[in-house]
Amino acid sequence: MAFDEMHTEGGAVRSAYAGVASWLETVSADQLARRRAEAELLYRRGGITFSVYGDTQGGERIIPHDLLPRILSAAEWSRLAAGLEQRVRALNMYLTDIYGPQETLKAGIVPPDLVWRNPAFRPEMMGFKVPHGIYVHIAGIDVVRVDGDDFYVLEDNARTPSGVSYMLGGREISMRLMPDLLASHRVAPIENYPNELLAVLCSVAPRDRSEPTVVLLTPGQFNSAYYEHSYLADRMGVEPVEGRDLFVQNDVVFMRTTKGPRRVDVIYRRIDDDFLDSLVFRPDSLLGVPGLFAAYTAGNVTLANALGTGVADDKDIYSYMPEITRFLLGEEPILKNVPTWRCREPEALAYVCEHLPELVVKRVDGSGGYGMLVGPHATVAERAAFKVMLQANPERYIAQPTLALSTCPTFVESGVAPRHVDLRPFVLTGRHGVRIVPGGLTRVALRENSLVVNSSQGGGTKDTWVVER
Amino acid sequence: MSSLPSTHASEGNEWESALASAGCLDLFRQHHAEATAESVTRFLAFSEHNPSSIRQCLETARFNARAVRTALTVEMWETINGAWLEIQDSKPHALPFIDIPRFLDWVKEVSLRFDGSGYRTMLRNDAFYFSRLGIYLERADATARILDVKFHFLLPATSPVGGGVDYAQWSAILRAVSAAASYHWVYRESLKPWLIADLLILKEEMPRSLAACYANIITNLDHLAAAGGRQGAAQRRAHALYRKLRSENIAQIFQSGLHEFINGFIADNDGVNAAVVEQYLS
């Protein structure tokens, strides 16, 4: 039985959801349906869309937004926030170590080949001191609940995590379409996220300037997250730029403007490492800026996130995070890890092959719900086919028990019903420490019994309310 | 023009003149044998072969607006995106011919709303000055083309001036540029071709006139120069063209040839446009 965030096992309403429960009694299904249609219209009109890779229609889609908020009490949140803060500190410490003294490898905490063979490892970064020792300025830590006490980390996203615009958009929708329910709760604000983000970016500027020039580097309007890029740039009041809008001269980055070149101090880049600089990385990339890496290592511009952070967030390293936290921070991890079988280890592989029907098997380098097997929901044939791939390249896979993700009340065709959810809070790290706006993006698997919350696989979003009392 | 009573339609094919004024007569001929009210209207409003058809323009506008989303305010973006969605949903190209004027009214509303949103909501910085500059360069060109084609057509050397046919057509021009009432407020007399030309070329109080467009063009170019410190050929050429417009009178223009004057203006306006691109955008 999955943990129901609204109801106790006895069927009583938990106190955090008391307001939602009584509100639900006052609105008709009709009114809810009307509000839902209106929400969809607002999303479409606002162009709040994403595109799906491999979608031959080439169309933009809306991520369905469920109007019923997901509610966390202030006490639950503060426990979670402390854990997130620790987790991201550990990620940054680990990266500092990997690109520096490599104590974790020397002490045998992490098998060295996990680093050397990791395609996200950037040997070019060895020995380079990133500004203020921060690699991961923006992290998205995916967490799930399986009971009333604990949050488990499902995945760390330390490269270019996305989704924060849906978190902010969801709140705007709540304010417009659920003002009655919102007014009856003391919901912690999240609207300051773009300001916090800008403050973090400014705080890591290489030069001491009162107003550093920050830009957001986007692959352009055909990227699936383009809406988010333009939204964040707009809300921060910084220029969104493509690679061709920037150039490097004498290891300094400039932006072309109608008023002539302007020096750039911080680049919030939403382009993957591989494409950032065709002189150093993929030579065929037209998205990046030739010479950017040299400007970066000369200390003339700060990249957020830093290069090479992927070596800390893949599904393989994930399973070592508790040990890394103990070793580098000397602290006991606050957030739990989901038990993980590393298929690279022969005993683990044997166990996984035998227990496929109860496990979730993921590619260590996969994301977006692609290339994974959800054992309990797969057919015999699907499991057999997957097993062949698994045994051919065991080191590319990890396996985890199928977690009974917690459920939240969700508006579906048949009325209001529980659906499985996860949560991606966004953790910001700047020179002055870690900032987390209370909440995050709740993703919901809209199909009954489905555990896959990815937007590319039929997932939706919910507004997340941290309620202060 | 499609609202003209058919008895007031004149000899010759004025639908071709509409195409010529939009600069797409050749393109039309590649796809259609005959220029009829319906074929031309549909070509100008909906054709996928015509990059400046209303539908294609909206498609391009939405594509470009999305690319520079942060340069627009929410109100401007939602106007464009909303109109684009509306076209996707309502499929106006499938409308019966008789219902097209309703679609055209909607298009006018959309462009007024976009223009108004920009005016009301944009920060006064270079994005605003550029957007205004674009509007006025485009509008000056459109006014000039409408004038040229219609006057060419309305004033064949041998035909008598006056009569019901001419009157209906002149007033159609004025309505096309939303100036029918203004004409009467300014001149307080019946429609005269040279007064219409005077209104649309030289009268600065008429917002579509070439002179009014240029007053706005130099204002916005000067703002740009002040904001960014870049002053150059764009400003010089625009000021020169504005001075020229202010020194003209309509009798002179008719004497030396309206068609020549307008062709000269269109070329000069293109030159200003090119100078802006060269100076700021390349």
Q: What is the pLDDT of residues B267-278, one digit of tens each?
A: 999 999 999 999
Whether residue A397 lies inside any domain: the answer is: yes
Residue A439 tokens read as 């909440």
CATH number at residue A345: 3.30.1490.270
Distance from CA of A205 to the nearest CA of B (A): 23
Quote the pLDDT of residue B159.
47
Convert B70-82 to b/e letters by CB count within 10 Å (16 or more is b). bbbbeebbbbbbb
Q: What is the residue extent of each domain of chain B?
A: 123-282
- Per the prediction, chain B carries an average pLDDT of 87
| Residue range A292-313, pLDDT digits in tens | 999 999 999 999 999 999 999 9
Contact A248, A295 (CB under 8 A): yes
Q: Which residue of A has its CA nearest to B82?
A: A45
Order of strands, edge to edge, in the sheet holding A397-401?
A341-342, A397-401, A359-363, A373-374
pLDDT, mean of residues A19-47: 88
Quote the pLDDT of residue B110.
96
Share of chain B above pLDDT 70, in %: 89
Cβ-based contacts of A240 with chain B (< 8 Å): 69-70
pLDDT, mean of residues B144-171: 65
Distance from CA of A230 to the nearest CA of B (A): 6
Whether residue A392 lies inside any domain: the answer is: yes
Distance from CA of B224 to the nearest CA of A (A): 9
Residue B34 tokens read as 């005959």
| Residue range A104-163, pLDDT digits in tens | 999 999 999 889 988 899 999 999 999 999 999 999 999 999 888 889 999 999 999 999
Q: Which residue of B has its CA nearest to A237?
A: B70
Residue B3 clears pLDDT 60, i.e. is over it: no
Among B205, B226, B232, B227, smallest CA distance to B216 is for: B205
Residue A372 clears pLDDT 90, i.e. is over it: no
Task: Count residue pairs from A and B with Cβ separation < 8 A.
Answer: 42
Distance from CA of B138 to the nearest CA of A (A): 20
Q: Which residue of B has its CA nearest to A216?
A: B70
CB proximity list for B89: less than 8 A, separation 6 or greater = none
Substitution target in A62, A230, A238 with the highest count of B β-carbons within 10 Å is: A230
Q: Is A147 exposed, middle or buried (0-12, 13-18, 19+ CB in 10 A)?
A: exposed
Q: Which residues of A fall below an 8 Å CB-CB distance to B? A: 44-47, 220-221, 226, 230-231, 233-234, 239-240, 258-260
Domains in chain A, number: 1
| Residue range B29-72, pLDDT digits in tens | 999 988 998 999 999 999 999 999 999 999 999 999 998 888 89
Whether residue A378 lies inside any domain: the answer is: yes
Cβ-based contacts of B63 with chain A (< 8 Å): 221
Residue B88 clears pLDDT 80, i.e. is over it: yes
- Please report the ipTM that was assigned to this predicted complex: 0.70
Share of chain A above pLDDT 70, in %: 97
pLDDT, mean of residues A83-98: 97
CB proximity list for A4: less than 8 A, separation 6 or greater = A406, A407, A418
Q: How far is CA B169 from its chain centroid?
A: 18
Find the CB nearest A259 among B67, B81, B230: B230
Whether residue A388 lies inside any domain: the answer is: yes
Quote the pLDDT of residue B8.
46
Cβ-based contacts of A258 with chain B (< 8 Å): 126, 130, 224, 228, 230, 280-281
Quote the pLDDT of residue A59.
67
Q: How far is B262 from B250, CA to CA, in rounded Å?
A: 12
Quote the pLDDT of residue A68.
95
Antiparallel, parallel or unpaired: β A397-401 and A341-342: antiparallel
Residue B181: band (very low, low, confident or very high) from pLDDT cuts 50, 70, 90? confident
Which residue range(s) make up the domain with A392? 339-402
Least confident of A69-78, A138-147, A283-292, A426-435: A283-292
pLDDT, mean of residues A343-361: 91
Position of tokens 């050749």?
B26
**CB pair distance less than 8 Å for A46 and B85:** no
Quote the pLDDT of residue B9.
46
Residue A437 tokens read as 């706006």
Beta bridge partners of A269: A217
Distance from CA of B220 to the nearest CA of A (A): 14
Residue A215 clears pLDDT 90, i.e. is over it: yes
Quote the pLDDT of residue A140.
97
Among A393, A444, A447, A451, smallest CA distance to A423 is for: A444
Residue B5: band (very low, low, confident or very high) from pLDDT cuts 50, 70, 90? very low
Cβ-based contacts of A231 with chain B (< 8 Å): 69
